[in-house]
Structure formats: structure tokens, C-alpha cells
Amino acid sequence: MRPDGYTEPAERPRGYRADDEIVLDVKGLSKTFDVRHGLFGSRPFHAVKDVSFQLARGRTLGIVGESGSGKTTVGLTLVRLHQASTGQALFDGQDILAMNARQFHPYKRRLQIIFQNPYASLNPRFTVEQILTEPMQLHGIGNDAGARIKLARDWLDRVGLPASALQRYPHEFSGGQRQRIAIARCLTLQPEVLICDESVSALDVSVQAQVLNLLQDLQDEFRLSYLFISHDRPWSSIFPIRCW
């Protein structure tokens, strides 16, 4: 403790323990695209090849690589925005890549993604209230519109934005504030795993630290599991992280 009464927070544990619960177990994940070759032909492009990793509950795993190495494709494939070519992704023991759309629907709540660009990931025609309440309505969260608006207001408060933001549009916010809205949108579904796809790389350095600290606080409070996708490791001093 310093003379002014400030106490340094305890250092968060790093790495995995033997008794950690594995929430997401990816085995042999591959994704191949057919790209145009010549006038009428095509050839396979292996964006992701034989990727395997495990993510423990309440922990953070980083996927680090240079641009074009397939990191984002891994994240998009896990949330089923791309169809996997081969492999498994076991979420609490269930292979979410083998499910049909109806079977996968309940897992959309449990597995969410924060996209890289906060300027493109929010619908510019929606107010923040619509952005936050629409996912809750689709997944049956909240008894009525009033209850969903109250939840949206609570989540905005959790990410450090005022309730007055509900009636505003995305273009009225800074990049850091937009990313906080994107985080709040994910949290409205109360997920267990968040995929953070370069989620701070488009922000100023000072804003990056604020968003990363927010994510860490939310992880401590809700025991979220994070899959961090990045081309470097500026966040390693903030997050207790294991890199793949």
C-alpha cells in the first residue's frame, strides 16, 4: 500500500490450471475457399488448416498472426458466418459445426463476436436502443419491450455509457464509444464466450487501454471466456493470456 492509501490490485493468474473447465474445444478446424483461376477455372485456397486449441471457462486465449494468416476466418467459422470445411468445435461437448441452423440457434446466445471495425459493425439506421434490444427480442430475453429497454440501459451503464445514449445513432459516437456499444450488444445475450476479432486495433492507444480494461473487468464479474484475435500483443500486459 502506498502512503496515499492506494493499494495495487492483485495480479491476475496467468495460464491454465489442470482443473480448468474447457468450454470450447476446437479440433482440426480447416476452411478452404474456391478462388477464381484463369477464365473459367478455380483453385482451392486453404485459409485455415488443421487448427486445434482449447479455451477454458473464465480464461483468455490469444490467436496471434500476421495479416492474411487466417485468424479472422477462425473466428467467423466458429460463429458459423463461414461453413467449416473439416474439423470440430465442441462447445460444452456438443459439436456446433455439425449442427443445422435450428440446432445452433440457442448457441448464438452463448458464443458472440466483437468485430474489428466499430464504424461498420453497427447498423447506422438503428438507434442504440434498437441495436441493443433487437437481439434480446430475437432470443426471448425480457418479458416485454419495457423490460428489454431497462436491460439495455443497465448494460450501457456497465460499459460506461449514459442512458441518454439509447436515443442516439452510431454516427454520434466516437470509435471507442461505438466499440463499447458493440460490447454491450454482445452482453445483452449473456454469452459465455466472446470472440474479440482485432476489437481494439482500430482505436487510439489510450482508448485501446480503456476498452481492454473494461473487457477484463467484465471477465472478472461474469467469468467470460475470451478468444482474442490479433496481429500483435499490445494487450498482453493487461490480460492474463495464453497465446496460440
Nearest to 178 by CA among 131, 228, 232: 131
Which pLDDT score, from 0 to 100, does residue 7 have? Answer: 46
> Tell me: the pLDDT tens digits for 53-103?
999 999 999 898 888 889 999 999 999 999 999 999 999 999 999 999 999
Domain spans in the chain, listed from the N-terminal domain onward: 53-243
Confidence label for 41 from pLDDT (cuts 50, 70 and 90): confident
148 DSSP assignment? H
Query: 177 and 203 in contact (C-beta within 8 Å)?
Result: no
Whole-number Å distance between alpha carbons of 239 and 175: 21
Confidence label for 11 from pLDDT (cuts 50, 70 and 90): low
CB-based burial of residue 209 (10 Å sphere; 0-12 exposed, 13-18 middle, 19+ buried)?
Answer: middle
Cell (9 digits) for 163: 442512458
Nearest to 168 by CA among 228, 207, 127, 202: 127
Task: Determine which helix (DSSP H) or strand (DSSP E) holds 105, and give its type and residue range.
Answer: helix 101-110
53-243 has which fold? Rossmann fold (3.40.50)
Residue at 171: amino acid letter = H
- Annotate 9-60 with DSSP letters as a single string: PPPPP-S--TTPPEEEEEEEEEEEEEEEETTTEEEEEEEEEEEEEEEETT-E
Confidence label for 233 from pLDDT (cuts 50, 70 and 90): low
For residue 51, report the phi and psi dihedrals to the nearest 5 degrees.
-95, 130
Nearest to 30 by CA among 41, 17, 44, 15: 44
Nearest to 230 by CA among 178, 215, 56, 218: 215
Which pLDDT score, from 0 to 100, does residue 238 have? Answer: 56
Say what percent of the chain tops pLDDT 70: 87
Whole-number Å distance between alpha carbons of 180 and 196: 12
Say what percent of the chain tops pLDDT 90: 61
Strands 22-37 vs 86-91: parallel, antiparallel or unpaired = antiparallel
Report pTM: 0.85
